[in-house]
């Protein structure tokens, strides 16, 4: 899934699969994403939208090798 630079990014959707990312950071909540590892390799998969919208837990777990540290 790729989003052009001039298109709006829906921060409630995962930039990789387009499903809900269930992120609650914007609501001031202690979200699941704060305890996950988002490697540079993972963030670079979808380019800039991954920095504007959380990648969902399923995509994080499917695409992050066990034992990897955030870069």
Q: How far apart (Å, rounded) are the C-alpha atoms in residues 50 and 5?
A: 12
Q: Check residues 4 and 27 and name the one with the higher pLDDT.
A: 27
What is the SS3 assignment for 20?
strand
- Look at the alpha carbons of 35, 36, 40, 46 in this order and tell me if their dihedral is positive or negative: negative
Task: Please tell me the predicted confidence (pLDDT) of residue 18.
Answer: 92
Work out the pLDDT band at 67, boundaries 50, 70, 90: low
Task: Please tell me the predicted confidence (pLDDT) of residue 2.
Answer: 45
Q: Domain spans of the chain? A: 26-63
| Structure confidence by residue, pLDDT tens digits, 10-41 | 888 998 999 999 988 776 668 888 888 888 88
**41-61 average pLDDT score:** 81
What is the SS3 assignment for 46?
coil
What is the SS3 assignment for 13?
strand
- E-assigned strand segments in 1-71: none
Instruction: Give this prediction's pTM.
Output: 0.69
What is the SS3 assignment for 56?
coil
């Amino acid at each position: 899934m790729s989003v052009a630079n001039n298109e709006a990014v829906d921060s409630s959707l995962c930039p990789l699969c387009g499903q809900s990312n269930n992120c609650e950071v914007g609501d001031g909540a202690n979200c699941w994403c704060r305890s996950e590892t988002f490697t540079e390799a993972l963030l670079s998969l979808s380019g800039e939208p991954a920095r504007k919208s959380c990648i969902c837990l399923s995509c994080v777990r499917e695409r992050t090798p066990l034992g990897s540290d955030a870069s």
